[in-house]
Amino acid sequence: MDMDRTVRIIGAPMDYGANRRGVDMGPSAIRYADLADRLAEANAEPVDDGDLAMPRAEERDPDAAQPTDGNAKFLREVEDVCRRVSDRVAATIADGEFPLVLGGDHSVAIGSLAGSARETDLGAIWFDAHADINTPETSPSGNVHGMPLAAALGHGSFGETEWAPAPRLQASSIAYVGLRSIDDRERELLRESELTVFTMSDIDQRGVSSVVEDALAVATDGTDGVHVSLDLDWLDPKTAPGVGTPVRGGVTYREAHAALETLSKRDRADDVLRSMDVVEVNPILDEGNETATLAAELTASAFGKRIF
């Protein structure tokens, strides 16, 4: 990426989709960790768009807009935010800039994907401990941050909406990297789908760079660009303690950087990255802003920052 590539930072401090408060402070914490300076060091030009305004969860009724079947808390609020994220992402791309969405919980990715796939056949790489493919009908919790890929693909009752599905995103162009916590019903859904799954066992056996190269092959096959979704609970909680749904056995600090550096290397060669979101940093649960700092560092690695 050259310095003439502008990265527009879009804050989406949403915590409607999570089950623990505090993730709404994630965008501020990542900015405080010198995100803009780190992007500049990676030869990207950061422009901060500020945060989307949204009411506090305490002011809203989580059950006010439940689907006919199933459970999806704060669905009306999630829809409102994701519509605005989608519009902001699409407008940023139309202006020739790169949208970087800072969450907030992972449900913001519904908007990121919808906006990025509005005019382009899109692939996606999902760095996450969780599959995020529950629907309102299958979710054990009703928390929408466990549903963004189901929403983007129009599964379950999301298929009856016009705001959730990403218009030009296909399951065959999505690759998970580092899954290690999958609900029983999600496991069935994954086996029935065309999504590509690389678990932590794949990383253990083959190394993270090789796995990410294969994920890129999936996400770039027949598409015009790739969305990267980075959930900080992808990392081991000893490395990234400030997340709401930690799962032991995640990637290490260096594995995470190697993964994002592999993305950057491919992007420098073929200009494949189109959009990105960084989600689930919860400063209340963090230790010395360690997780937010890691989020800023990893984002810079995706944009080309190297040790040497």
Q: Count of residues for the chain? A: 308
Structure confidence at residue 65 (pLDDT): 63
Question: For the domain bounded by 6-302, which CATH number is listed?
Answer: 3.40.800.10
Which pLDDT score is estimated for 60?
Answer: 63
- Which stretch of DSSP H or E encloses residue 265? helix 253-270
Band (137; pLDDT cuts 50, 70, 90): very high
Give catalytic status of residue 4 as yes or no.
no
Q: Among this protein's residues, is 227 annotated catalytic? A: no
> For residue 123, how many C-alpha atoms fall within 13 Å in the half-sphere facing its CB?
23
Instruction: Choose, from 15, 51, 105, 130, the residue flagged as catalytic.
Output: 130
pLDDT of residue 2: 46
What would the mean pLDDT of 197-225 be, rounded to a whole number? 98
- Dihedral angle at the C-alpha atoms of 157, 159, 163, 165, nearest 10 degrees? 130
In SS3 terms, 11-60 reads as: EECCCCCCCCCCHHHHHHHHHHCCHHHHHHHCCCEEEEEEECCCCCHHHC
Catalytic residue chosen out of the listed positions 77, 231, 236, 277 = 231
Task: Look at residue 56 in the predicted model and tell me its pLDDT.
Answer: 73
Task: Write down the pLDDT at residue 1.
Answer: 41
280 is catalytic: yes
Interval 241-256: pLDDT, tens: 999 999 999 999 999 9
**pTM, rounded to two decimals:** 0.94
Query: Exactly one of 15, 255, 277, 280 is catalytic; which is it?
Result: 280
In the residue annotation, 231 being an active-site residue is answered as yes
233 catalytic residue (yes or no): yes
Instruction: Tell which residue, 174, 148, 144, has the closest CA to residue 74.
Output: 144
Could you say which of 24, 80, 132, 261 is catalytic?
132
What is d(CA 129, CA 77) in angstroms, rounded to the nearest whole number? 25
pLDDT tens digits along 85-130: 999 999 999 999 999 999 999 999 999 999 999 999 999 999 999 9
What is the pLDDT of the chain when averaged over all its residues?
A: 93
**What's the CA gap between 125 and 106, in Å, rounded?**
14
CA–CA distance from 121 to each of 18, 201, 225, 256 (Å)?
29, 30, 7, 27
Q: Is 128 a catalytic residue?
A: yes
> Which entry of 24, 77, 79, 106 is annotated as an active-site residue?
106
Strand partners, 199: 179
CA distances from 161 to 89, 181, 269 (A): 20, 28, 38
132: left (phi over 0), alpha (psi -120 to 50) or beta: left
Share of the chain above pLDDT 70, in %: 94
Q: Could you report the per-residue pLDDT of 34-72, keeping only the tens digit for each?
A: 999 999 999 999 999 999 998 776 666 566 666 656 788
Active-site residue (options: 24, 77, 79, 128)? 128
Of residues 156, 151, 165, 173, the one with CA closest to residue 224: 173
Query: Which position has the token pair 């056996």?
Result: 205
Q: What are the structure tokens assigned to 288, written together?
A: 């010395």
Whether 145 sits among the annotated catalytic residues: the reply is yes
Catalytic residue among 80, 233, 255, 277: 233
- Tokens 């995100």: give the residue: 35
Q: Find the mean pLDDT for residues 137-148.
A: 92
Quote the radius of gyration of the chain (alpha carbons, Å).
Answer: 17
